[in-house]
Amino acid sequence: MSLQDVMAKILEIEEGLTITSPVSLSVKKAWDPVPPANTTLVDLPAWTNTWSMDGMDWLPGDMRDETYVVRMILAVGESTTEQDRQGRIATAFWESLLNALHADPQLGGFGRLQRIRSAQQGIVPFGGRSYVGLEVSLEVYVIEAKG
């Protein structure tokens, strides 16, 4: 198991998300790492992902116990129009994400979901623009062989 495996699985989950209400819609793009800062997100809805290490312990047998926080941001649409509708779409994708994570808490055998630290629907900035969307902080646990 590795962080790269975990991130690949998270992208797979994000790219597979669909909703049927308030409209039928699927995620068009999931980025890891995030696109360049000056990129305008045009294939929406889209996820961007970053991670930070929260801690690491050395275990017997040349193993590492690693805890990461993955920051997942969903951009549904630019915040200039239809914010109420886009907010409902972001909420529907939140529910779809929860169901997908619940269905695979071991992340395909590459890690383990510890908990969702936070989730917030609202305005999310990216590349100098503001989007209506969702921000999620997901705590992930990985045990990796040293080396």
pLDDT tens digits, residue range 86-107?
Answer: 999 999 999 999 999 999 999 9
Buried b (16+ CB within 10 A) or exposed e, 41-60: beebbbbbbebeeeeeeeee
What is the Cα–Cα distance from 92 to 67, expressed in whole angstroms? 28
Closest CA to 8 of 112, 110, 83, 87: 110
pLDDT tens digits, residue range 110-140?
Answer: 899 999 999 999 999 988 899 999 999 999 9
Beta strands in 32-111 (DSSP E): 46-59, 63-78
Q: What is the pTM of this model?
A: 0.92
